[in-house]
Amino acid sequence: MSKPETMHAGWYERMGAAHDVITFGEMERPQPRENEVLVRLHASGIDPSDYKRRANTRAKMEFPRIIPHSDGAGIVAAVGPGVRDLREGDRVWVFHAQWQRPFGTAAEYVALPRTLVRPLPQGLSFAQGACLGIPAMTGYRAVHVAGAPCGKTIYVAGATGRVGAYAVQFAKRGGARVIASTGSGEDARREIARLGADVVLDRKAPDLAARILAETGGEGVDQIVEVDISGNIALDESILREGGAIVSFGAATAPSVPIAQGGRRARNMSLHFILVYMLSPAVIDATCNGINEAADGLVHRIGGTFALEKLAEAHAFAETTSGSGHVIVTM
């Protein structure tokens, strides 16, 4: 009986600090089952959910061993029965790899359902492809969930973050006027302007609401892409125009937000929440197709790159430098 093929991977078997629990070593290489694709990964992207889940010692392990990370890019190594539109050697990007599954993309190989594997646009590196999963999908959906962005004025709060940076770009490419904010200083404001924002403001300024209203002739913005709705709901309601929409993709300061029915109902406001893991197949297809169509012009902010054997260091770096861009692990 032949010996199973192996691969290098990083994993953990208990929750805790990165350097305490992450192991690098060899384990058995997966094989594609029906309607699955085996991808030889060249890059893996770290999302906040990856290190927050690993560090949460109050939670139970979902599986005895977890290879973290949802996002990645590489080359098709093999396809399982039923897969006819991809073949060995195709360049691809992947997403949701560790959503409700034990083994994600912090490894040399991953076997995934065909629906989680998409062609990698020509001209994109594997490192850039590893940025396209959760951050880009969230940014794209945040811009489009309330309708086409063309002709709207969209305010992106906290645009220095990975999702915010993509939201700025997708909104601008979609024909919106983009107002953005950041609390990270003048260099960050210049960077956001280079991404396409028409106006970039200091998120910490006491007159932020007045500045946004002035930029809209006092009418307010059509849509807000919000990273911290619980912390910013009062400001958001003050700058949102009649019939506008708030789109929430994060909750940085608190898990809940007070809802006062009267004002919102009277102004025909709408509120949308996004968790990309739970999007319908049709929405996922539209989102991935939109990202691939825009890929040649997107800027991917990579803040750090680590080899797979340095996975613990990569997690520790990602936890402390979330505003600097994507953290990529290479194989």
pLDDT of residue 254: 65
Q: Domain 6-131+300-330 carries which CATH code?
A: 3.90.180.10
Q: What is the pLDDT of residues 17-76, one digit of tens each?
A: 999 999 999 999 999 999 999 999 999 999 999 999 999 988 899 999 999 999 999 999
State phi, psi for 107 to the nearest 5 degrees.
Answer: -160, 165
The 3-class SS string of 143-200 reads: HHCCCCCCCCEEEECCCCCHHHHHHHHHHHHCCCEEEEEECCCHHHHHHHHHHCCCEE
Q: Is the pLDDT of residue 255 over 80?
A: no
Residues 149-155 have a mean pLDDT of: 98
pLDDT band (50, 70, 90) for residue 300: very high
Per DSSP, the three-state class of 237 is helix
Q: What is the pTM of this model?
A: 0.94
Q: Are 229 and 256 in contact (CB under 8 A)?
A: no
Residues 70-94 have a mean pLDDT of: 97
> What CA–CA distances, in Å, run from 321 to 113, 204, 273?
32, 19, 25
pLDDT band (50, 70, 90) for residue 1: low
Q: Is the pLDDT of residue 7 over 60?
A: yes
Tell me how crowded residue 299 is: count the other CB atoms within 10 A of its CB: 15
pLDDT of residue 252: 63
Q: Is the pLDDT of residue 266 over 80?
A: no
pLDDT of residue 12: 98
Q: Is the pLDDT of residue 159 over 70?
A: yes
pLDDT of residue 164: 94
pLDDT of residue 296: 84
pLDDT of residue 183: 81
Cα 30 to Cα 256: distance, rounded to the nearest angstrom: 40
For the chain, give the mean pLDDT.
Answer: 93
CATH 3.90.180.10 fits 136-277, yes or no: yes
pLDDT band (50, 70, 90) for residue 268: confident
Taking the domains of the chain in order of start, what are their residue ranges?
A: 6-131+300-330, 136-277
Residues 6+ apart with CB under 8 A from 281: 115
pLDDT of residue 186: 85
Q: Is the pLDDT of residue 145 over 80?
A: yes
Do 6-131+300-330 and 136-277 have matching folds? yes
Which of residues 324 and 326 earns the better pLDDT score? Answer: 326
